[in-house]
Amino acid sequence: MDKGCPMDAFDLREYRSLYQLCQTILDYFPHGEFSTTPGYQEADTEEFVLAAVDFDAQNIMVDDEGNVTGFLDWDKIETVPAYMGWQRLPFFLCEDWLQSYAYPRHPHHLSPPEYNHYRRIYAKCLKDACGTEQGCEYTEMSGIFTAFKEALGDKKAMMDFMFKVFKIILPAVDFNVFMTSFELDNGGYGLELRPDVEKLLREKLAELLIPRR
């Protein structure tokens, strides 16, 4: 929120609606209130790891046989949950979640179905390399979690992220219209959705963010 810019009632309501949507999505992250993935919800503590910020193709070293031999660019290293660290997808498989995504105009961008195809392949290879699915359940959708983290605090980025989420889970719903469906709660301070609308939203978010077995 820009401190130097006065905010009218509509802007404030929009921010509060965005905050409520973000909180709802967080409920379906691993260790979230509605997460039902074995090994995450039941765990007493969440595992955190060191992760390179720029995990992309130009920083992955391979030999002539295609074996990964190392990673470059470890400045600005982060401590993140494991599903956003070594378990996550590299950035070049998540470009459809970037604000700059411009398929088919951009010559190097793939279509969303193509990205989904390669994400499934990467996730399977990671599980095979680990010898177990434990710890890799969220790899395939980790690009969503990373995009969510990067968007927080930036209204334009948050709106772009939510628009993409709704395009997947509720393609027939106009996101801008949906944003006006929040109503003041009984205390008059927070915003909430009608129970039937919230139920539908949570069902669709569960389908998107909870791994299928």
Question: What string of H, E and C letters represents the secondary structure of the chain?
Answer: CCCCCCCCHHHHHHHHHHHHHHHHHHCCCCCCCCCCCCCCCCCCCCCEEEECCCCCHHHEEECCCCCEEEECCCCCCEEEEHHHCCCCCCHHHCHHHCCCCCCCCCCCCCCHHHHHHHHHHHHHHHHHHHCCCCCCCCCCCHHHHHHHHHHCCCHHHHHHHHHHHHHHHCCCCCHHHHHHHCEECCCCCCEECCHHHHHHHHHHHHHHHCCCC
For the chain, list residues with pLDDT below 70: 1-10, 35-44, 184-190, 213
Q: What is the pLDDT of residue 180?
A: 84
Q: What is the pLDDT of residue 6?
A: 46
Domain range summary for the chain, segments of one domain joined by +: 9-209
Q: What is the pLDDT of residue 2?
A: 46
Q: What is the pLDDT of residue 4?
A: 46
Q: What is the pLDDT of residues 189-211, one digit of tens each?
A: 567 888 899 999 999 999 999 88
Over pLDDT 70: what percentage of the chain?
Answer: 86
Q: What is the pLDDT of residue 166?
A: 95
Q: What is the pLDDT of residue 7?
A: 45
Q: What is the pLDDT of residue 193?
A: 87
Q: What is the pLDDT of residues 129-144, one digit of tens each?
A: 888 777 788 999 999 9
Q: What is the pLDDT of residue 99?
A: 87
For all residues of the chain together, what is the average pLDDT?
Answer: 84
